[in-house]
Amino acid sequence: MTHAIQFERHEESAAFFSPLAGMALAEDRIEARRDPLTGMTAVASAGLEAKEEMFLGKTDWAYADLLASRSREGCFFCPEKVLEATPKYPDELVPGGRLQRGRALVFPNLFPLAALHAVVTYPEMHFLRPSEFTPGLLNEGLGAAVDFGRRAAHALVLTHLSIACNHMLPGGASLVHPHLQVFGGETVPWLVQLYWDRSAEWLGRHGESYWRMLVEQEQAAGERYVWGVDGVHWLVPFAPAGAREALAVVPDAGRVTDLDDEHIAAIAHGLTRILAWYEEEGLSAFNFTVYGGPLDGSDGGFPVVVRVIARTAFKQDYRTDDYFLQKQLGGELMFAAPEEMAAKLRALF
Site for Zn ion contains 333 (CB under 5 A): no
Q: Binding to Zn ion (CB under 5 A): which residues in 214-253?
A: none
Instruction: Tell me whether residue 125 or residue 156 sits nearer to Zn ion (CB atom).
Output: 125
Instruction: Tell me whether residue 3 or residue 70 sits nearer to Zn ion (CB atom).
Output: 70
Determine the interface stretch with Zn ion among 48-56, 67-75, 155-163, 286-294 (rule: CB under 5 A).
Answer: 67-75
Instruction: Tell me whether residue 81 or residue 150 sits nearer to Zn ion (CB atom).
Output: 81
Instruction: Tell me whether residue 128 or residue 192 sits nearer to Zn ion (CB atom).
Output: 128
**Minimum CB separation from Zn ion for residue 133, in Å?**
15
Q: What angle do CA 62, 66, 67 make, to 5 degrees?
A: 120
Cα(242)–Cα(221) distance, integer angstroms: 23
The 3-class SS string of 141-198 reads HHHHHHHHHHHHHHHCCCCEEEEEEEECHHHCCCCCCCEEEEEEECCCCHHHHHHHHH
Indicate which single residue of 56, 75, 259, 275 sits in contact with Zn ion (rule: CB under 5 A): 75
Site for Zn ion contains 177 (CB under 5 A): yes
Nearest to 334 by CA among 248, 247, 239: 239
Residue ranges of E strands in 35-115:
41-45, 99-101, 104-108
Determine the interface stretch with Zn ion among 40-48, 75-83, 185-193, 226-234 (rule: CB under 5 A).
Answer: 75-83
| Binding-residue total with Zn ion (CB under 5 A) | 5
Nearest to 125 by CA among 175, 86, 55, 52: 175
128 phi and psi, to 5 degrees?
-130, 130
> Is 235 within 8 Å of 342 (Cβ atoms)?
yes
**Minimum CB separation from Zn ion for residue 176, in Å?**
7
Q: Which residue is nearest to Zn ion (CB)?
A: 75
Nearest to 85 by CA among 104, 102, 107: 107
Cα(81)–Cα(215) distance, integer angstroms: 45
* 243: enclosing H helix or E strand: strand 243-250
Q: Which residues contact 9 (CB under 8 A, 6 or more apart)?
A: 31, 32, 33
Determine the interface stretch with Zn ion among 15-23, 36-44, 69-77, 136-144 (rule: CB under 5 A).
Answer: 69-77
Q: Binding to Zn ion (CB under 5 A): which residues in 101-160?
A: 126
* 290: enclosing H helix or E strand: strand 286-291
Instruction: Tell me whether residue 75 or residue 203 sits nearer to Zn ion (CB atom).
Output: 75
**Minimum CB separation from Zn ion for residue 149, in Å?**
24
CB atoms within 10 A of CB 185: 18
Instruction: Tell me whether residue 77 or residue 238 sits nearer to Zn ion (CB atom).
Output: 77
Instruction: Tell me whether residue 78 or residue 249 sits nearer to Zn ion (CB atom).
Output: 78
b vs e for 3-19, b when ≥16 Cβ sit within 10 Å of the residue's Cβ?
A: eebebeeeeeeeeeeee
Site for Zn ion contains 77 (CB under 5 A): yes
Which residues are bridge partners to 184 per DSSP?
116, 161
Instruction: Tell me whether residue 177 or residue 255 sits nearer to Zn ion (CB atom).
Output: 177
**Minimum CB separation from Zn ion for residue 80, in Å?**
9
**Minimum CB separation from Zn ion for residue 260, in Å?**
31
**Minimum CB separation from Zn ion for residue 102, in Å?**
18
Determine the interface stretch with Zn ion among 101-109, 144-152, 169-177, 302-310 (rule: CB under 5 A).
Answer: 169-177
| Interface ranges with Zn ion (CB under 5 A) | 75, 77-78, 126, 177
